[in-house]
Copies of this chain bind each other. A is one copy, B any other.
Amino acid sequence: MFSGAQISLYPMTGDFVGVITRALAALDPHRDRLRIETDDISTLIIGTPDVVFAAMRDLFAAAASSGEHCVLHATISRGCPGEPDDPICQTPELTGPMAPLDERKARAHQAVKDAAVIGQEAAAQFSLYTLGIDGHMDEIYGCIDFLKNSGVFEKSKNFCTKLRGDTGAVFSTVHEALVRFGPPAGHVTIDLTVSANSPSKR
């Protein structure tokens, strides 16, 4: 298994470099379980999905606590057949046979219920892509059904689903979408946008 994300942080302020630099300290508790590489468009974080999502959540919350309008975007992937297996990504969660959809939805709900409360409101939208399987829309519709009952569902949009709530519950919900839908060892990706402090109307 290979899993991780290409992430970018966009603080809408002339001091965007300062906001990003100060937020980076939030990655420190996660660094020993991640491989990290940066260029001028994004930062690659490779690790198990739970660590990758905790790192994104803490980075986003740190940037948002500046009070500036901040957006985090992530291109998230697990199980891409074009990537090599990596020991830093090994997780028992993504092995074994695929459980029935209802069982997976129940586990996803429990995980979101148990999510840490961060105390920062986040709006988010994301698209889930389950690749290389027949009937990919069945998994996507199963996921959308989970999202509608996740407690952070805001609305369905064309091409994506929109969430709003505490940063902890929002990132936990997207994490569950990645690991519970599509086959355990399958190729699943997410296109995620999370926003805080927007002056725009909903």
Q: Which residues of A contact B (CB under 8 A)?
A: 2, 4-6, 8, 10-14, 16-17, 38-42, 44, 46, 69, 71, 73, 75, 77, 80-83, 123-125, 127, 129-132, 134-137, 140-141, 157-160, 162, 187, 189, 191, 193, 195, 198-202
Q: Which residues of the other chain, B, contact A131 by a CB distance below 8 angstroms?
A: 129-131, 136
Check B132 against A129 for contact (C-beta < 8 Å).
no
Q: Take A4-B158, A159-B77 as given contacts and tell me if A193 and B137 are in contact as well, using a CB distance cutoff of 8 Å.
A: no
A127–B76 alpha-carbon span in the complex (Å): 10
Check A159 against B80 for contact (C-beta < 8 Å).
yes
Check B12 against A16 for contact (C-beta < 8 Å).
yes
Check B125 against A159 for contact (C-beta < 8 Å).
no
A125–B75 alpha-carbon span in the complex (Å): 10
Check A40 against B193 for contact (C-beta < 8 Å).
no
Check A193 against B41 for contact (C-beta < 8 Å).
yes
